[in-house]
Structure 1
Amino acid sequence: MGGGSDERHVSLRAAEGVHVHAALRADGALVVEGQLLRPGMPEYEYVVTLPAGQVPALVAALGVAGEGELLPELLRRSEEITPRVHGWLCDLGLRPELWTHLGG
């Protein structure tokens, strides 16, 4: 286990009004946080967490050399991933955790 400074992150490309950030935490988990801010609609936030034990399966499914290549690959696949992060990971046979919040 490393310190918090070991966290690596990237902002994924997404539709206008959608902000998505992916981070590999020091504990090895992949965390994707999203926020939808669109005029006339309530704010929607989500956090998708792929536990550290499942990250190697994601690396293998994406065909990248190792965890060091994971975030660049996620960035490359932004348009495929950002519309439905949780579903995309589930489609790969993974079991991510999901937290959502809909603002008023």
Structure 2
Amino acid sequence: MGQYRLYHTDPLTTDEFASQPVAVQKTWGKDILVKSWGHLTSARVFFRKVHGRVPSGEQVSTLANDKKRLEEARSHLTWQDVTAAFKRGEESNMSRKLSYMP
């Protein structure tokens, strides 16, 4: 327990993400595929994997907002697909927070 302060910082760089232990990368990759905060990332990764190009904002929103289609899309992705997108720099919204006890 204790008191903590959280600070928002810039997203992790590609190299910083790649240097994380595999367990950390796997946790992020899996969570993106099941948590609501990962809808947009899942949609972008799926679209690039299937269509081989960067999707438009409208295409991402349409897929992310259709629960049934998004669930189907996510079923075709692995945590490795997600983490590979971060390592290639295709995704970069992985925020880091620093905490400390005063």
TM-score normalised according to structure 2 size: 0.30
- Is the helix fraction higher in 1 or 2? 2
**Structure with greater strand percent:** 1
Larger gyration radius, structure 1 or structure 2: 2
> Which structure's relative contact order is higher, taking Cα pairs within 8 Å and 6+ residues apart?
2
Give the TM-score of the pair, scaled to structure 1: 0.30
